[in-house]
Amino acid sequence: MLVPDAVAVYLDHLTVERGASPNTVASYRRDLARYGEYLAGVGVATLAAVTPEHVAGFAGHLRAGGAAVAGGAGRPGLAASSVARAVVAVRSFHAFTVLDGSASDDPAAGVSPPKQPRRLPHALPLDAVQRLLEAPDRTTASGLRDAALLELLYGTGARISEAVGLDVDDVTGRLDDEDAGLRLFGKGRKERVVPLGSYARAALGAYLVRGRPELSARARRPGPGLFLNARGGRLSRQSAWQAVQTHARTAGIAAEVGPHTLRHSFATHLLDGGADIRVVQELLGHASVTTTQVYTLVTVEHLREVFLTAHPRAR
């Protein structure tokens, strides 16, 4: 079977049978397109012709960057995390072709993703978070939206994909009641309900009353999305990311700040405040507590910094 045909079958499998999210499918499509280009460049057209050396060579090609295979435009080398993601996509693809009967051997079985250095999540100090949350201009519809988005990201630890995928009906309970919450759909469409604090409830209420109706009125066909763009359609991940960065600059925050920074800050500040790690796991929607434990390392680093700075005999 030709490699492009096998990739198309695999992507259909991800979408239809495994129910992978559009973002996951898009990521796999991008990585496997690079893989297909690489194989074509080295003269490999069919699954049967792929060897472990080709798979390993693809990983090395992504790391090295430089001139593209088969005379294409040059590309910069990818970070270890991006190479690891691409190798995982290739391994999953080849494993599927064996199960599907399209191939008799799995050339990727013995090729491991490159090891990545452990990077601790970056959390903002509380005063920086405060400045960021106060940055949007709450006299405009877009400012009310951004204020509600920022409060929600920091107040619930939601992923940006979860936030922009929200519908109005995903707000549970009354916003003037402490029992109000938010229905989030995480990876694999796994549902969880998280509580909304008073600041998030107030910002969300102001947006729903004064901001969203104005934005929704600009749409040809108003939809159920909670966060809307300037034309009344659902806010995209890219636009939400840009909004966070814009307000971070307004707040005078020099560090790189994105939506995930607020998720990291949410988890770190909860643990600093004495929250149980299992509770934080549930709030973040992590399948395993092992994933959440990385935040305990962040708090240990913070304790060490405080100790070295404050104790007279620490140094």
Whether the per-residue pLDDT at 198 is higher than 60: the answer is yes
Output the six-digit token pair for 306: 């405080």
- Range 294-300 contact pairs with CB under 8 angstroms and sequence separation of 24 or more: 294/118, 294/120, 294/121, 295/121, 295/264, 295/267, 295/268, 295/271, 296/271, 297/120, 298/120, 298/121, 298/123, 298/264, 298/268, 298/271, 299/268, 299/271, 299/272
For the stretch 226-260, pLDDT in tens is: 999 999 999 999 999 999 999 999 999 988 899 98
Q: Is 274 inside any structural domain?
A: no
Q: Residue 92: its pLDDT value, please?
A: 93
Number of compact structural domains in the chain: 2
On the question of pLDDT at 126 being above 50, the answer is: yes
pTM: 0.65
Q: What is the mean pLDDT of residues 19-43?
A: 91
For the segment 44-91, what is each residue's pLDDT rounded down to a tens digit? Answer: 999 999 999 999 999 888 887 644 444 444 566 777 778 888 999 999
Please give the helix or strand (H or E) that residue 172 lies within, else none: strand 171-172
Shared-domain flag, residues 154 and 85: no
Confidence of residue 300 (pLDDT cuts 50, 70, 90): low
Q: Where are the beta strands (DSSP E) in 176-242?
A: 181-185, 191-195
- Say what percent of the chain tops pLDDT 70: 88
Is the domain of 164 the same as that of 218? yes
Tell me, yes or no, whether 23 lies in a domain. yes
Q: In 13-140, where does DSSP find H-type helix?
A: 22-41, 52-64, 80-99, 126-133
Does residue 79 belong to any structural domain of this protein? yes
User: Is the Cβ–Cβ distance between 281 and 292 less than 8 Å?
Assistant: yes
Last residue in a domain, options 230, 258, 286: 258
Pair 92, 151 in one domain: no
Catalytic residues: 159, 187, 260, 263, 286, 295
Q: Does 265 score more than 80 pLDDT?
A: yes
Q: What is the mean pLDDT of the chain?
A: 88
The domain in which residue 84 lies consists of 3-99
Residue 91 is assigned to a structural domain of this protein: yes
- Domain assignment present for residue 270? The answer is no
Question: CATH code at 155?
Answer: 1.10.443.10
Residues 37 and 149 in one domain: no
